[in-house]
Every structure is written in structure tokens, then in C-alpha cells.
Amino acid sequence: MNCDKELDVCGLNCPLPILRTKKSLVDMTTGQVLKITATDPGSVIDFQVFADQTGNELLSLSEMAGEFIFYMRKR
């Protein structure tokens, strides 16, 4: 999947991945896609809740070798 910006929050635990994502989305325009790479297993639920609460669209979620990859479209 194509993305406009990438964010690596590997090694960070809640709430830092969400806070860094929120900060990254501020600099983006509506419709752009942010790719987030995280290692915190709790981030799976955190990003789903974050998307629901903010209106940003969680396009996909996958896991590979202990890393979680999220694609989020800015509202």
C-alpha cells in the first residue's frame, strides 16, 4: 500500500505510539496516508480506538515478525 509519510514507533509503549501518530497527522493534509510501525501489542486496540475517536480511517493492520503495521488515512 502506498503512503505519504512513515512513522516508526517501535520500542515505545502506550501512550507514546498514539501521541506520536497524533502529532504526525497534524502535519498532513486530508486524504493522505500514514504508515505506522509499532512493536507494542497493545497498539492494535489503541489504534482501532484512536481511529474511531478521531474519525481518521484505519485502512489496514498487519503483523510481521513481531511488528505491527498500520495504515491510517487522515480525515
pLDDT digits (tens, 9 = 90+) for 35-69: 999 999 999 999 999 999 999 999 999 999 999 99
In which band, very low, low, confident or very high, does the pLDDT at 25 lie, cut at 50, 70 and 90? very high
Structural domains of the chain sorted by starting position, each given as residue range(s) with its CATH number in brackets: 5-73 (3.30.110.40)
pTM of structure: 0.96
- Residue whose C-alpha cell is 493492520: 61
Q: Which of 6, 11, 13, 14 is catalytic?
A: 14
Q: Is 14 a catalytic residue?
A: yes
* Positions of E strands within the chain: 5-8, 33-38, 57-64, 67-73
- Residue whose C-alpha cell is 505510539: 17
